[in-house]
Amino acid sequence: MPPIKPLTRHLVRVFATPDLEGTTAVVYRLDESLSSSDMQAIASNDKAPATCFIHQVSAQECNVRFFNATHEIQLCGHGLLACAKVLAEYDNALSFRLDTPQTVVEAHVSQEDTRVEIQLDALPSYAVDIPLWAKDCFNIPPEAASLAGPDSGYWVMRWPQSTALDQLNVNSRVLVENTQRALIVTQKSQVEGYDYGFRYFAPQHGVIEDKATGSAHRVLLSYWHQQLNQCNFKARQYSKEGAELVGRVVNGDVWISGNVDIQR
């Protein structure tokens, strides 16, 4: 097998503020396509929350794929934002169509500040009974549960506003043994300036707890749009690193945005 050509590597920080670390993505802009095994090998070496590969089809359209250290990620919110930022560095354009294995995403890069925004189809959730395994999974029980997406989609579990989400313990073993869905834990925010808080867990897919999760924000924008009857949101992710995510609901679509900076 011929060696992989040296690739230009971009380290991008996403969803950070002066007080919150956000998360990172490694982005490679490819001149020619790579095999899935080559991309997974590179991502395993990077060990980043997301390693992203852009293969440009035209001036404003690209194929993109995402990997963590162990798995391919079908749709990575912060990876999409990072890819758009890198593309804007190369091209005289601020809008792009990003073709992922799951869907085509429109992305816009701001000229005025560090904000990047992506458009996704809404992913509504529906209320269900709290599963029996929840009593073994959490040190503090949830008050409500919902499902979003297919069997490999998401649990959305809500806690009272008085609960300190950063004190919530989640048993990864119980999750792996009982569901293939990722888990989003959320609550109406108790912090001024934020509408809701959340955390994200997907040990079934190699993510014990994510630092900052655009795909979870996509689900929660629809969820809290139904709960609060509003369209514009700012959210705080209560990972150890912390993150700030902004979003809006417009005509059945969700727009996810946040600060995105290429690390020099």
Q: Kindly list the domain boundaries of the chain, sorted by start residue.
A: 9-122, 125-243
CATH number among 3.40.35.10, 2.130.10.10, 3.10.310.10, 3.30.1540.10, domain 9-122: 3.10.310.10
Question: Which CATH architecture does the domain made up of 125-243 adopt?
Answer: Roll (3.10)
Q: What is the pLDDT of residue 61?
A: 82
Q: Indicate yes or no: pTM above 0.75.
A: yes
What band does 1 get if pLDDT is binned at 50, 70 and 90? very low
Average pLDDT of the segment spanning 83-101: 91
What band does 158 get if pLDDT is binned at 50, 70 and 90? very high
What band does 6 get if pLDDT is binned at 50, 70 and 90? low
- Of 215 and 91, the structure prediction assigns the larger pLDDT to 215
Residues 47-86 pLDDT 10s: 999 999 999 877 778 999 999 999 999 899 999 999 999 9
With 80 as the cut, is the pLDDT of residue 112 above it?
A: yes
**Element at 44 (helix H, strand E):** helix 36-46
Same fold for the domain at 9-122 and the one at 125-243? Answer: yes
* Mean predicted lDDT score pLDDT of the chain: 94
Residues 198-235 pLDDT 10s: 999 999 988 999 999 999 999 999 999 999 999 999 99
Which of 60, 90, 70, 199 has the alpha carbon at shortest distance from 140? 199
Q: What is the pLDDT of residue 102?
A: 87
With 80 as the cut, is the pLDDT of residue 250 above it?
A: yes
3-state secondary structure 134-189: HHHHECCCCCEEEEECCCCCEEEEECCCCCCHHHCCECHHHHHHHCCCEEEEEEEC
C-alpha dihedral sign at 214, 126, 137, 160:
positive
With 50 as the cut, is the pLDDT of residue 154 above it?
A: yes
With 60 as the cut, is the pLDDT of residue 88 above it?
A: yes
With 70 as the cut, is the pLDDT of residue 4 above it?
A: no
Percent of the chain residues past pLDDT 70, beyond the cut: 97
Backbone angles phi, psi at 113, to 5 degrees: -150, -160
For residues 124 and 146, give the distance between their C-alpha atoms in angstroms, rounded to a whole number.
10
For residues 78 and 40, give the distance between their C-alpha atoms in angstroms, rounded to a whole number.
18
